Chain A
Amino acid sequence: MNGYSDLLKTHRFSRRSLLGGMSVGAALASTPSWARGGNIAQDQPIRVGFDELRGDVIDLSVGSGRRIVEGRRSMGVAVNGTVPGPLVRLREGQNVRLNVTNQLKVDTSIHWHGLLVPFQFDGVPGISFPGIAPGETFAYEFPIRQSGTYWYHSHSGLQEQQGHYAPLIIEPKDGEPVKVDRDYILLLSEFTPLNPYFIMSRLRTGEGYFNRQLSSWTDKYPMNAAERRMWAEMRMMPTDIADVSAPTYTYLANGRGPKEGMEYLFRAGERIRLRLINGGAMTFFNVRIPRLPMTVIAADGQNVRPVEVDELQIATAETYDVIIEPGNAEAYAIVCESMDRSGMALAMLASRPGARAQVPALRDPPLLTMADMGMNHDEESGHGDHSSMDHGTAPKASSHDMAGMSMRDTSLLPPDVEIGPGLDMVSMAPVDKTGDPGLGLRDVPHRVLNYRMLSALEPNKDVREPSRLLELHLTGNMERYMWSFDGRMFTSLDDEPLRFAWNERVRVKLVNNTMMAHPIHLHGMFFEVVNGQTPAHQPRKNVLVVQPGASASFDLTANEPGDWAFHCHLLYHMHGGMMQVVTVVGPGEGS
């Protein structure tokens, strides 16, 4: 029970504000006035790290400037002069007016990721509003109907890659259910010296352009010659884990590179809430704190029953809140490896400024397996005789296994999928893999989070049986870098939205016919992941990862009228066509 006194002692100084930690040196530096919002001139340097804004009226300004990360430079896009942009801290039940001024030479926008808002304030140009023209100020106005950890970012062009993202926290109106001594934000993202349009163009023209871990005669991948021939025969790359990665990217923790000393102070025995936000454009991070378990208490802003793990994979655009209780060590490393293990974002839990823990080396890069192609014989049962397929831990399938199998048997697809050059693979036997901890984490010797471990803390209000099934196929062509739903790429002139009747309860099944994991994001509503929990406790999320060659389902109560974006949250996949509009008809508006 001495925990109580510790808790009270530390409460005083640590609750002063909810800061994203601080870097050595920068902690004492005074903030220049220009960085406090308002005008930033084109050639001004962008400051690293974020301030905090709260209140009923919040002014945000989007501008451009120079960024330097670990000596590498680029032009960036910043909100109020910082990357990440300022923490917007709100309170459930308040009304907020957010005035967003565009100081760029091109249109901008802000999408409030995960927030329940009237659709016209959702911030997607061409779908929810016209966008914010240069020099214009747009006022977003809406009541705050929820609480939790969220973020906001541009939905215009590729500005998100350039730094236009920031955390957003909403305090529950009845107080936090979990008491902590410190409350920290860890926003993960990437920095690149390259122009994002150059990246997009190279993804279309240069196969594997950003991958420095391609298979070669001298690699150390555990593949034999037959396996290598099989991949070549299929014209696929088993190393295709991330389309863009290090060294093109430097992975960032609250805007800081791994050598830039991001640190969070703690005292032994304290309980710390760490709000993990993946604000990256293209990266899944594997997050672990060696010697320190993490108790997950929220996913995508919504509370879940506490579940203790040693590592978790956070997909692009997901958020997880975890509780950690550092012990007597001087420091702990928060290690956030990119899924392809080309690099890491890094932060330290430090018992005194400057304390450092040893950082483990990057683990070996993972490889795609036959299971990631949708070959799932006995995949989940674990006792089948096709030992080569089990758990997808090693690509042991021989070319013999491929005999007579088609990588693209389009007869397996429903008739509403358009079959064309944009579809290079059809998953042979897609199974639900919400129990998959993610590429590279299937065989680690410790506890890893997966979706089946998530269970909603507060019961869901709508537990009706879904009245219909909507099956959507995630489709693509890696070689041409085309991405689509049901074989059709998005243009905002797309006149065939996914339509839902008012308050309709629908099960949406996503089938991944590609060899990449796609984090599919629905705007404006939470859905409940069909993960084996009872309907009342299926976890509410707004991003759902569909593993390669697999399926995943969610139940949706369509009760937020309007048009909503629905897309893969990998920025270049969305830009490459994997986007759709969801239309929810308002009460009494139906035909």
Chain B
Amino acid sequence: MKSSFFIGIGLTALILPSAAFAQHAGHEGHGEPTETASPAHVNADDPHAGHGSMDHSAMDEDVSPGPLSETPAPPEAGSGPPRAADQIWGTDMMAHARHKEHGKHGNFPVLWVQADRFEAQLRQGNNSFLWDLQGYYGNPTSKLWLKSEGEGEFGEGVEDAEIQALWSKAVDPFWDLQLGVRQDVAGPSTTHAVVGLQGLAPYMFEVDAALFLSHRGDVTARIEGELEQRITQRLILQPRAELVLSAQDVPQLDIGSGIDKVELGVRLRYEIIREFAPYVGVEQTWHVGNGADFLRAKGKDPSTTNYVVGIRFWF
């Protein structure tokens, strides 16, 4: 068996320059030709030997380091766009083909819609519902981003709801700057200008922070952070925190100046498929400061603990 292989090698050798074969024979069994590079090629005077950009192995000693720094192409390389095919197939045909390919490669847009929280909130007394949706259409660095959040008590209708339309521009590998408007569509009608930052912070925190300026001149801010902790490939624990800040009291929106609201929650979801995951969780909300007083005045509890059941889905 082995012998026929060597016959083959022998036949190969017949048509090879003998030097090449000799060198090969020297490697037989080593499988590492580079280690047996001929010393005849080593140039001890070569100033670059062992100092080049690839000086990490003995292999460089018998090969030239090549040019060490980048230089522009010579004028003979020509200039202008690549249009060789125009001469053969016609300028119009190729322009049409390029147009068709444009938008398919690289910066093409995608659509994404997500319900991060879509849930029932259960507590003693009144049960409520909540949605937290967002979606975008656009290319990797420039998108139209829509968001909607809202909540209400079962049987009493929507209490609080907003829609945001944002232009989202990548300003960093992991961060998008978002500019746009927010319209509160339940409760006192309010329009806000929005400046936000959304992205992925170190340690994989998903962060959405926004500053709102209402048409009445009130300044508020909201910071949301989430973390995904994979327990298995499908079971995921998601801690979540939300902080609402305000520069002033806004009594008609039950907002007090300073820290107005703190929300801490944790949700455990099971991804039946990546896009569809039911979850259960618990969430604690504290309204503090004047905001808490506004709520107490209306007979509401400024501190609530909710058990949540919902689905997270996206497409």
Contacts and interface: CB of A to CB of B under 8 A. Distances in A.
B79 A493 contact: no
A563 B85 contact: yes
Interface in A540-581: 551, 553, 555, 561-563, 574-577, 579, 581
A561 B77 CA distance: 11
A120 B4 contact: no
A125 B106 contact: no
A125 B27 CA distance: 45
A507 interface: yes
Interface in B1-51: 1-5, 7-9, 11-12, 15-17, 20, 23-24, 27, 29, 31-34, 37, 41
Given A131-B100, A205-B110, A424 B173 contact: yes
A325 B69 CA distance: 47
A469 to B, nearest CB: 4
Contact of A530 (B7, B11, B63): B63
B141 interface: yes
Contacts of B174: 235, 424, 479
A219 B103 CA distance: 40
A479 B173 contact: yes
Contact of B77 (A455, A504, A563): A504
What range describes how many residues of A lie at the interface?
A: 35 or more
Contacts of A308: 29, 31
B31 A457 contact: no
Contacts of B141: 420-422, 480, 482
B80 interface: yes
Given A271-B4, A457-B20, A577 B106 contact: yes
Contacts of A269: 1, 4
A468 B71 CA distance: 6
Interface stretch (B90-98, B122-130, B158-166, B243-251): B90-98
B96 A130 contact: yes
Contact of B78 (A379, A479, A480, A499): A499
With most chain B CB atoms within 10 A of its CB, the pick from A179, A218, A583 is A583
A305 interface: yes
A385 interface: no
A290 interface: no
A178 B53 CA distance: 38
With most chain B CB atoms within 10 A of its CB, the pick from A130, A268, A308, A465 is A130
Is the contact region of chain A dominated by helix, strand, or loop, or is it mixed? loop
Given A120-B89, A583-B78, A3 B7 contact: yes
B69 A130 contact: no
Given A235-B174, A453-B33, A306 B98 contact: no
B68 interface: yes
A482 B110 CA distance: 13
A178 B11 contact: yes
Interface residues of B, number: 90
Contact of B94 (A130, A307, A381, A471): A130
Contact of A218 (B34, B99, B105, B231): B231
Interface in A180-220: 180, 201, 204-206, 209, 212-218
A481 to B, nearest CB: 7
A234 B232 contact: no
A268 B1 CA distance: 8
B233 interface: yes
Given A7-B7, A452-B34, A532-B34, A507 B54 contact: no
A466 B63 CA distance: 12
B84 interface: yes
A534 B85 contact: no
Given A3-B3, A235-B174, A452-B33, A499 B89 contact: no
Contacts of A496: 81
Given A177-B12, A490-B106, A589 B82 contact: no
A233 interface: yes
B152 to A, nearest CB: 30
A492 to B, nearest CB: 4
Interface string A464-507: 01111111000001011110100001111111110111101001
Nearest to B5: A325
* 4 nearest CB pairs, A to B: A3-B4, A532-B59, A590-B76, A380-B56
Interface of A: 1-4, 6-7, 107, 119-120, 125-131, 157, 177-180, 201, 204-206, 209, 212-218, 229, 232-235, 268-271, 295, 305-309, 323, 325, 327, 376, 379-381, 408, 414, 420-424, 431-432, 435, 447, 452-453, 455, 457, 459, 465-471, 477, 479-482, 484, 489-497, 499-502, 504, 507, 530-535, 537, 551, 553, 555, 561-563, 574-577, 579, 581, 583, 585, 589-591
5 contacts: A268-B1, A468-B70, A532-B59, A562-B85, A579-B105
